[in-house]
């Protein structure tokens, strides 16, 4: 039985990757910090390797006896887009998401790892100027990457491509907007579902995006071990839809009334700026409406057929994905019980 090392194993996507790997009968070694919250994976028959992504020695030790690595570990810290962003936190994000990826790939090559699957992001895909579907052939420009997290993930993928050229078998999975269970520190989309179900969403900024069940994203990572071609990138997505239709679907599944008021984007940006300034500088907490999220509210729709065809990635109905997330949130106290 082959053993796979999974970094970020206790995170939203990582916890689902662990389960997908077990379903495919891989032995799983989860790379986590000693202080990590293991709620999402504590009941699973897996092995733990403790360490820090920035500690090359602990990473190297964790690789011993493994044939494959799924590198889903990354650092997300909310960072304002304006002058009050903490430069030390900015440096820390690039250190973990870019330079640590470089050291991990170098160590993997030295250890003779058979393949590394890297978790990138749909943000790393450039969008056609004519409004058509984005695909794996397009790389994002700097203008298309609002915020340091998205930029760091893009640069991390370039590192993976560099190591492919150096002879390390590696490919990248680019999740679109995943929803589903084990969203322990709710993602921006998870917070939307949480707020919606708790009656805290009076309106919205309409856009278009691609929604996918996180279990399908996880399956794509595991399928890429055998089916993914080195040097290739795969957009792990499912359904392109407007944000308005997404909210209507959540309302239908969750038994709520959909918000009907759509905010102009310029108004949302102005609100986000003041919310961010007040939250970061006076309340010292994360804003409810980060400016980065509003800046990212663009038409981002994709052709995901490469992952479907080459990886044999599954496509779960989005209604099921929404229900799975709502049920998990209810079970863990994120939203009010019926």
147 pLDDT above the threshold of 50: yes
The answer to whether the Cα torsion of 128, 133, 136, 141 is positive or negative is: positive
Instruction: Taking each helix axis as running N to C, give the angle between helix 100-111 and helix 56-63, from 0 to 180 degrees, rounded to the nearest 10.
Output: 40
Query: In this predicted model, what pLDDT tens digit does every residue of 285-299 receive, in sequence order?
Result: 665 555 455 555 567
Question: CA–CA separation, 164 vs 213, rounded Å?
Answer: 28
321 pLDDT above the threshold of 80: yes
8 Å CB contact between 157 and 124: yes
274 pLDDT above the threshold of 70: no
- For the chain, what percent of residues have pLDDT higher than 70? 85
Average pLDDT over residues 148-152: 89
8 Å CB contact between 190 and 179: yes
What is the total residue count of the chain? 338
Query: In this predicted model, what pLDDT tens digit does every residue of 204-256 receive, in sequence order?
Result: 567 899 999 999 999 999 999 999 999 999 999 999 999 889 999 999 999 98
Question: CA–CA separation, 243 vs 156, rounded Å?
Answer: 28
**pTM tops 0.95:** no
Q: What is the pLDDT of residue 279?
A: 59
Q: What are the counts of helices (DSSP H) followed by strands (DSSP E) for the chain? A: 12, 12
Question: CA–CA separation, 275 vs 206, rounded Å?
Answer: 20
44 pLDDT above the threshold of 50: yes
8 Å CB contact between 95 and 154: no
Average pLDDT over residues 145-171: 94
Domains and CATH numbers, the chain: 3-178+214-238+302-315 (3.40.50.720)
8 Å CB contact between 208 and 222: no
User: Residue 112: how many CA atoms within 13 Å on its side-chain side?
Assistant: 2
> Residue 77: which pLDDT band, with cuts at 50, 70 and 90?
confident
Retrieve residue 335's tokens. Answer: 């939203």
């Amino acid at each position: 039985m082959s053993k796979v090392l999974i970094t970020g194993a206790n995170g939203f996507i990582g916890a689902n990757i662990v389960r997908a790997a077990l379903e495919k009968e891989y032995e799983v070694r989860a790379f986590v910090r000693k202080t990590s919250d293991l709620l999402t994976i504590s009941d699973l028959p897996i092995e733990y390797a403790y360490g820090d992504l920035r500690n090359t020695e602990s990473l190297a030790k964790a690789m011993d006896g493994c044939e494959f690595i799924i590198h889903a570990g990354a650092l997300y810290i909310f960072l304002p887009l304006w002058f009050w962003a903490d430069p030390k936190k900015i440096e820390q994000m690039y250190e973990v998401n870019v330079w640590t990826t470089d050291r991990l790939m170098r160590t993997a090559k030295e250890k003779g790892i058979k393949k590394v699957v890297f978790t990138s992001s749909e943000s790393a895909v450039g969008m056609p100027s004519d409004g058509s579907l984005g695909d794996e052939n397009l790389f994002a420009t700097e203008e298309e990457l609002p915020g340091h997290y998205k930029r760091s993930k893009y640069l991390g993928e370039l590192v993976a491509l560099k190591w492919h050229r150096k002879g390390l078998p590696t490919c990248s999975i680019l999740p679109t907007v995943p929803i589903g269970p084990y969203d322990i520190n709710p993602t921006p989309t998870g917070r939307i579902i949480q707020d919606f179900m708790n009656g805290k969403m009076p309106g919205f900024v309409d856009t278009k995006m691609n929604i996918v069940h996180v279990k399908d994203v996880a399956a794509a990572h595991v399928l890429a071990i055998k089916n993914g071609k080195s040097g290739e990138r795969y957009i792990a997505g499912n359904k392109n839809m407007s944000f308005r239709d997404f909210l209507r679907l959540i309302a239908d599944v969750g038994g709520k009334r959909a918000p009907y008021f759509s905010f102009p984007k310029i108004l949302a940006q102005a609100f986000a700026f003041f919310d961010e300034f007040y939250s970061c500088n006076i309340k010292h907490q994360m804003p409810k409406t980060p400016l980065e999220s509003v800046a990212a509210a663009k038409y981002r729709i994709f052709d995901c057929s490469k992952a479907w065809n080459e990886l044999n990635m599954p496509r779960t109905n989005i209604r099921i994905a929404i229900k799975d997330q709502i049920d998990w949130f209810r079970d863990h106290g994120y939203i009010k019980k019926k």
